[in-house]
Amino acid sequence: EVSIEEFAGDLAVVALRLCDNDERGRLRAHFRVLAFYDVTDVATPVLLSTWSSGTRTQGANSVSVVQRADGILLVATTIRQSLLHTDEVLGDVRFIDATNPTSPVELADWDNRSDGRPVEGEHDEEELHAHSVILSSDGLSAWVSHWDAGTILLDLEDPATPTFAGAIGFLPDGEGNRHSSVVDEERALLIVNEEDFYPSDDDGHTVGWGKQHIYDVSDPTEPIEIAEFATSKSTDAGELGFDGIYSVHDTVLDGSVAISSWYSDGIRIVDLSDPEQPIEIGSFVPPRSRDPVDYWVAPNGATAFPMVWGVDVLNDLIFVSDMNSGLWIVQLDEETPTEDEPGPAPG
């Protein structure tokens, strides 16, 4: 809900990205933009405007929106591999002034490879892209998940001139896989998710499907890692799973509880009352289902498994989007048990 001179009501900003990301697909005149909708009457959304990420780009991968104290309605978005696809003209991270949502204006583009710190060691340029971005609640800073370049803090005091303020998680000779993050500003905690689709150590890949890293960001320019969390099937500390994709994807916070989509491990509900000792207190794993477009295949060749992509919370309900089996609505219960196997097939 926003209230600005040009608009008052409920505004939705929708990120649209191409599925076909090869050069031929990106050259087509597809709809790959941010779309701004007036959803004050949610039953009849009204398209106010669109913003284009540029030709040859694949469109927006993530979006974060904040109304700042100075009145600017700031939108941050990531355009994966924009720097490479535009011959280093436009960076992967974009900042947009949507104070007038009928006419959004791009303020700046930023990319660690062109504007940030040098990256040491040998890395594939494809693995240094910006994957997602989240704005602070005041819109004065942003955390960017810059994949193998780590999680990067930007100073946005002047949103037209983003500046590098710090980074964590860069590994000179290894994977970073920094996919997404979420911040508990009240307790100064940053939760960073690694996404890894290669669980073996072939071709130099790290063993396992990745972890969650929990940082104390009391001083956001000097984060301190205080804990890690992973499921038993996502690391070689347990029984590494090969009959699905056991990587973490996204996280939402509900008070001191972190609820994460963990692909074939469903959703994982973790108590962070003591952030140095994360404790799993519940989970929900949808039934094994075949990918309707035959894209996902597990390392052992399996083609039917849960693939929980997204998670959100409203009151005591958790909305779980499984790419293979559809949308599930789960009631959050203090007595929800932890389960490690997919549930029964529906009906």
The whole-angstrom separation of Cα 193 and Cα 250 is: 7
Cα angle: 35, vertex 94, 105; to 5 degrees: 60
Residue 160: is it exposed, middle or buried by C-beta count within 10 angstroms (0-12/13-18/19+)?
exposed
Provide the residue type at 55 as one letter.
Answer: T
pLDDT by residue for the chain (347 residues), tens digit each? 777 777 889 999 999 887 766 666 666 666 778 999 999 999 999 999 999 988 888 888 899 999 999 999 999 999 999 999 899 999 999 999 999 999 999 999 999 999 998 787 777 888 899 999 999 999 999 999 999 999 999 999 999 999 999 999 876 666 789 999 999 999 999 999 999 988 876 666 678 899 999 999 999 999 999 999 999 999 877 789 999 999 999 999 999 999 999 999 999 999 999 999 999 999 999 999 999 989 999 999 999 999 999 999 999 999 999 999 999 999 987 555 555 666 654 44
Q: What is the pLDDT of residue 346?
A: 44
Rounded to whole angstroms, the Cα distance separating 81 from 62 reads 13
Burial (Cβ within 10 Å: 0-12, 13-18, ≥19) of residue 104: buried
- Local structure of residue 335 (DSSP, 8 states): T
The Cα–Cα gap between 271 and 254 comes to 10
Structure tokens at 79: 């355009």
User: Closest by alpha carbon to 147, among 197, 94, 108, 204?
Assistant: 197
Structure tokens, 177: 């896989």
Q: Which pLDDT score is estimated for 347? A: 41
Q: For Cα atoms 323, 314, 41, give the angle at the middle one, nearest 5 degrees.
A: 90
Backbone torsions φ then ψ of 160, nearest 5 degrees: -80, -10
For 145-172, the DSSP string reads: E-BTT-EEEEE-SSTTS-EEEEEE---T
Query: For residues 248, 263, 19 and 313, what is the CA-based torsion angle, rounded to 10 degrees?
Result: -80
**pLDDT at position 335:** 56
